[in-house]
Amino acid sequence: MSNRAEALIDLTAIAANVNKLKATAGTDLMAVVKADAYGHGLVPVAKTAISAGANWLGVALIEEAHALRAAGITVPILAWLVPPGSDYAAAVDAQIDLAVPSLDVFKEIVATGKRARIHIEVDTGMTRGGFLEEWPDFLKSDFSNVEVVGIFSHFARADEVTEKQNQDQLANFNKAIADLAAVGVVPQLKHLSNSAAALTNQSAAFDLVRTGIAMYGLTPDLEHLGTSKSLGLLAAMEVRAKLHLVKKVPANSPVGYGATESTSRDTVLGVVAMGYADGIPRVAKAAGVFFDGKRCPIIGRVSMDQFVVDLGPETTAKAGDHVVIFNNGAAGEFTAEDWGLASSSINYEINTRIGPRVPRIYPHE
Ligand SMILES: *Cc1c(COP(=O)(O)O)cnc(C)c1O
C-alpha cells in the first residue's frame, strides 16, 4: 500500500447487490449514485450498476447527472434536488429527467420552451420533498408541454416495517396517482421504494425501486433490519490507512489535544494517518482500527489529519504498516455501522463523508 490512506471499492460486490435487489423487488431498479455514489465513486459505480442490470440512475443534483453524461453514460437519469434558478434548459438538452416538487419549479421548467421529461414528486407524509398544499392547483396545470415520465414519493420510515406511516404513505401515493389520472395524466413510471422498502415491502415496488445504501452492501437500518450480512448484502468499501508512527509510551501519558485520555498502562500507540478532514468522526469514541487480528481502540481526540490508537504492549506493528478503519467486518474488523454507532450517526454518513483526499481504488477493475 503506497497511499497514506485509501478506500478500496469492490465493484463485484456492488454488482452482486444490484442483482439481489432487483430479484427481491421484482421490478426495474434505479441505482442511486448521488454524493459520489455514497463515497464509492460516481462513474465506476454507475457503470458497474448498469452492467449488473440497473435500468436507471438517480442523483440529487443536476451537476451529478451532467458528470454521468460527460462520462458517456446514456441510460435514463433522474435528478431530484433541482431548486428554482437551476439551469433546467441545459439539463433537458442533456436528457436529464427532472423532479417537479412545486409549482415554481414546474413553471420554470415549462418556461425553458423545451419539452422536459419530468417526474412529479408528491409529499405522501414525510413532510420534506414534493407537492403538498399546492397539489390541487398543480392538477389544474397544462401538461401538454412536458413529458410526464414518472410520479414518485419517498418513505420516511420504510426501515420500520410495521409502522402505520408506511401504509398511509402508500395509500396517499395511490391517491395522488388517481388524482393525476382523473385529469388525464398517466405517468409511465411510478416509484416509491428506497432500499429498506425494496428489501421488505413488495407492495410498494411499483415499476422501479430506487436503491442506494443496500446497493453498497450496507443495511438501511441496523436496529430494525439487522446487519448488512444478515440481509445478504456485501459491503463494498474498505477504508484503510497507514501507521505514520508507532511508539512505546509509559502508563499515564496524556494523548492528543486537551489530554482527554491517558494511557492506562505501558503500551504501544499507533498514529494513524487519517483524521476528521478525511471523514473520521471526531465524536467517535467507541470505534478504532483493526490490526493483526484484533481491534485497537482510539485513544484521545481525533485530529484533522491523524488520530492515535492503542495497539497494545505486545503489538508487532511498525510504522508504515496499514490498519483497517472499516470494511465488511468478516474477520472482526469495525464496520461502517460500528463507526456510525460510535458517533451517534449511521453508516450512510460514515461512507459519504470519506473525503476527497482519500483515493478510491478499484482492485477488481
Ligand atoms: C437517497 C434517496 C434514495 C435512496 O435511499 P437509500 O435509503 O439509500 O436506498 C431514494 N430516493 C430518494 C428520493 C433519495 O433521496
Q: Inform me whether the pLDDT recorded for 28 exceeds 80.
A: yes
What is the chain's mean pLDDT, rounded? 97
Same domain, 248 and 177: no
Q: How far apart are CA 251 and CA 266, in angstroms?
A: 4
For ligand 1, the distance from its centroid to the CA atom of residue 72, given in whole angstroms, is 24
Structural domain count of the chain: 2
53 in a structural domain: yes
Strands 208-211 and 307-310: unpaired
Q: What is the tens place of the pLDDT at every residue in 149-186?
A: 999 999 999 999 999 999 999 999 999 999 999 999 99
Domain harbouring 308, CATH code: 2.40.37.10
Residue where a domain terminates, one of 180, 215, 250: 215
Contact 361, 9 (CB under 8 A): yes
- Among 195, 198, 193, CA closest to 216: 195
Burial of 224 (0-12, 13-18, 19+ CB in 10 A): middle
CA 348 to ligand 1: nearest atom:
8
The pLDDT-based confidence of 285 (bands split at 50, 70, 90) is confident
Q: What is the tens place of the pLDDT at every residue in 90-113?
A: 999 999 999 999 999 999 999 999
Is the CB of 220 inside a 6 Å radius of any atom of ligand 1? yes
The residue range of the domain holding 244 is 237-361
Domain harbouring 191, CATH code: 3.20.20.10
Is the CB of 32 inside a 6 Å radius of any atom of ligand 1? yes
CA 34 to ligand 1: nearest atom:
1
Is the CB of 194 inside a 6 Å radius of any atom of ligand 1? yes
Same domain, 167 and 81: yes
Contact 155, 193 (CB under 8 A): yes
Is the CB of 240 inside a 6 Å radius of any atom of ligand 1? no
Residue where a domain terminates, one of 148, 182, 215: 215
Same domain, 281 and 322: yes
Burial of 18 (0-12, 13-18, 19+ CB in 10 A): buried
Is the CB of 281 inside a 6 Å radius of any atom of ligand 1? no
Q: What is the tens place of the pLDDT at every residue in 247-260?
A: 999 999 999 999 99
Q: How far apart are CA 202 and CA 209, in angstroms?
A: 10
Q: pTM to 2 decimals? A: 0.97
Q: Which three cell numbers stand for residue 152?
A: 414518485
- Among 90, 101, 162, CA closest to 130: 101
Probe target for ligand 1 pocket from 30, 152, 194, 348, with the most ligand atoms within 8 Å of CB: 194
For ligand 1, the distance from its centroid to the CA atom of residue 185, given in whole angstroms, is 25
For ligand 1, the distance from its centroid to the CA atom of residue 207, given in whole angstroms, is 16
Q: How far apart are CA 304 and CA 127, in angstroms?
A: 36
Same domain, 162 and 262: no
Q: How is 88-101 classified by DSSP, letter by letter?
A: HHHHHHTTEEEEE-
SS3 label, residue 314: coil
Burial of 337 (0-12, 13-18, 19+ CB in 10 A): buried
Is the CB of 56 inside a 6 Å radius of any atom of ligand 1? no
User: Phi and psi for 15 in degrees, rounded to 5?
Assistant: -60, -45
Same domain, 203 and 280: no
Q: Inform me whether the pLDDT recorded for 221 exceeds 80.
A: yes
Q: Which three cell numbers stand for residue 33?
A: 449514485
Same domain, 30 and 61: yes
Q: Which residues are catalytic?
A: 34, 257
Strands 96-100 and 77-79: parallel
Considering only CA atoms, give the Rg of the chain.
Answer: 23
